[in-house]
Amino acid sequence: MDEISEKRLALCHPLLREKVEAAATLCEAQGVYIRVVSGLRTYEEQDQLFFSCHHSDGTRDFTKPWKTNARGGWSNHNFGMAVDVAPSMHGKDVPFNPDWDVVHPAFQIMIRELKSQGLVWGGDWKQRDDDHFQLADVEVTPTTENRILFAKGGLPAVWASYRDDLSRMPRTEMA
Ligand SMILES: [Zn+2]
């Protein structure tokens, strides 16, 4: 993957990184070059995104393009467990130019390969989020426990509450 993607993935959960990299390699073999356009977000960045398409009372501002339903602490992006990914209009070693057209063959190949790694695709949700992919074994929406652990010990504390392969989430005591 390109350097920008790698930098973003380096801040995400290692399992997510592994899966996106594997999918990227499979995409490249088909002439499709993908980039992580967004990875880990702070709560503040998440809130900025939320209020870019919602009024200050939290209701949807339909004059603005939809970005997210999640406030800070309520998106898997805030815990390094989700990424937004897009293919480039161009090929290898040319400036990246995102192609947001979900029906384009390149986008479809990207979806197929990321899903084949077991990632959940936001395009399957009622509120479609076509460039969003997240780990399947964590909750679709982050939990109170995630937020408490994050407040106590940041990302390492959240990640440590799962097994490495995320196969099952041992419930830790909520103090
Ligand atoms: Zn996303």
- pLDDT level of residue 165 (50, 70, 90 thresholds): confident
- pLDDT level of residue 40 (50, 70, 90 thresholds): very high
Mean pLDDT of 84-103: 92
Mean pLDDT of 87-95: 88
pLDDT (0 to 100) of residue 167: 60
Expressed in angstroms and rounded, the spacing between residue 84 Cα and the centre of ligand 1 is 5
Q: Is the pLDDT of residue 144 over 90?
A: yes
From residue 71, how far is each of 53, 75, 82 by CA, in Å?
11, 7, 15
Q: pLDDT above 90 covers what percent of the chain? A: 85
Q: Is the pLDDT of residue 170 over 90?
A: no
Expressed in angstroms and rounded, the spacing between residue 78 Cα and the centre of ligand 1 is 10
Expressed in angstroms and rounded, the spacing between residue 129 Cα and the centre of ligand 1 is 7
Mean pLDDT of 126-136: 95
Q: 115-129: per-residue pLDDT in tens?
A: 999 999 999 999 999
Higher pLDDT, 166 or 134: 134
Expressed in angstroms and rounded, the spacing between residue 98 Cα and the centre of ligand 1 is 15
Expressed in angstroms and rounded, the spacing between residue 116 Cα and the centre of ligand 1 is 18
Which CATH number does the domain 3-167 belong to among 3.30.1380.10, 3.30.70.20, 1.10.3720.10, 3.30.70.141?
3.30.1380.10
Break the chain into its structural domains and give their ranges: 3-167
